[in-house]
């Protein structure tokens, strides 16, 4: 997902100023890492030049004016086009490595002592279980707030994926506990 697509989606939800957009990217998509204000505002400026967004200066009593960005009809059309693009057409790309970077390390475990691998896998298992508990808490809060059902489905996918990671790590730890 490109930064531009994420910004368009944020603005489709509600007109926002840069800080709000960055906050949503960080809290929902975990994508503010590596996105500084300069990059965000440069992207917004380019999007404005391309007619995807407009901005309005909103004056405030005690604070400096804010630039609030709005999605244009052209921006909405481009976002909807992006939404309808098919994903995952490159079958040779192992994108599950990005979803679970621990797998990259696993491919080199044969270079470590068996006991260290077991210790490491068990500590990762505990971390993944904590993550699963947090995802479930997030889902509960989303349900309480009446969040859109598509977004609930996204967190449910994350919960299922997290459970699959835990199951895989559990099986790996059982394999490691078995005598060689």
Rounded Cα gap, residues 132 and 130, in angstroms: 5
Residue 71 domain flag: yes
Averaged pLDDT, 76-93:
78
Averaged pLDDT, 140-145:
96
Tell whether 109 and 145 lie within a shared domain: yes
Place of tokens 């080199």: 108
User: Is it the case that residue 71 has pLDDT exceeding 90?
Assistant: yes
Q: Residue 11 has what pLDDT?
A: 93
Residue 155 domain flag: yes
Winning range, highest mean pLDDT, from 2-6, 75-79, 84-88: 75-79
78 CA to centre of own chain: 21
Give the percent of the chain with pLDDT over 70.
89
Average pLDDT over all residues of the chain:
87
Range scoring the smallest mean pLDDT among 2-16, 65-79, 118-132? 2-16
Which position has the higher pLDDT, 100 or 5?
Answer: 5
Residue 89 domain flag: no
Strand-strand pairing, 16-17 and 53-58: unpaired
Q: How many domains does the chain have?
A: 2
Q: What is the CATH number of the domain that holds 24?
A: 1.10.10.10
Domain of 66 in residue numbering reads as 3-84
Rounded Cα gap, residues 12 and 72, in angstroms: 9
Tell whether 35 and 62 lie within a shared domain: yes
Tell whether 61 and 102 lie within a shared domain: no
User: Is it the case that residue 1 has pLDDT exceeding 60?
Assistant: no
- Residue that terminates a domain, selected from 45, 60, 84: 84
Encoding tokens for residue 137?
């808490």
Rounded Cα gap, residues 145 and 140, in angstroms: 9
103 CA to centre of own chain: 19
Which position has the higher pLDDT, 77 or 1?
Answer: 77
Tell whether 61 and 119 lie within a shared domain: no
Residue 90 domain flag: no
User: Is it the case that residue 57 has pLDDT exceeding 90?
Assistant: yes
Tell whether 49 and 103 lie within a shared domain: no
Residue 156 domain flag: yes
Tell whether 77 and 11 lie within a shared domain: yes
Tell whether 19 and 70 lie within a shared domain: yes
Tell whether 102 and 72 lie within a shared domain: no
Range scoring the smallest mean pLDDT among 50-59, 99-108, 125-134, 156-165? 99-108
Using alpha carbons, list the distances in angstroms from residue 163 to 134, 160, 167, 175.
12, 5, 6, 18
Residue 167 domain flag: yes
Tell if the pTM clears 0.75, that is, is over it.
no
- Residue that terminates a domain, selected from 84, 118, 134: 84
- Residue that terminates a domain, selected from 57, 84, 111: 84
């Amino acid at each position: 997902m490109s930064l531009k697509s994420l910004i368009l989606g944020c603005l489709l939800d509600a007109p926002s100023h840069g800080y709000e957009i960055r906050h949503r990217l960080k809290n929902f998509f975990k994508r503010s890492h590596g996105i500084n204000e300069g990059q965000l505002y440069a992207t917004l400026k380019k999007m404005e030049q391309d007619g995807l967004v407009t901005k309005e200066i909103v004056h405030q009593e005690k604070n400096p004016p804010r630039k609030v960005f709005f999605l244009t009809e052209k921006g909405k059309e481009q976002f909807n086009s992006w939404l309808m693009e098919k994903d995952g057409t490159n079958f040779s790309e192992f994108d599950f490595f990005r979803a679970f970077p621990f797998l990259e390390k696993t491919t080199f475990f044969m270079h470590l002592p068996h006991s260290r691998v077991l210790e490491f896998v068990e500590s990762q298992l505990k971390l993944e279980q904590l993550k699963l508990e947090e995802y479930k808490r997030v889902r509960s809060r989303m349900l309480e707030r009446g969040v859109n059902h598509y977004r609930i489905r996204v967190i449910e996918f994350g919960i299922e994926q997290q459970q699959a990671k835990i199951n895989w790590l559990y099986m790996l730890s059982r394999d490691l506990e078995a005598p060689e």
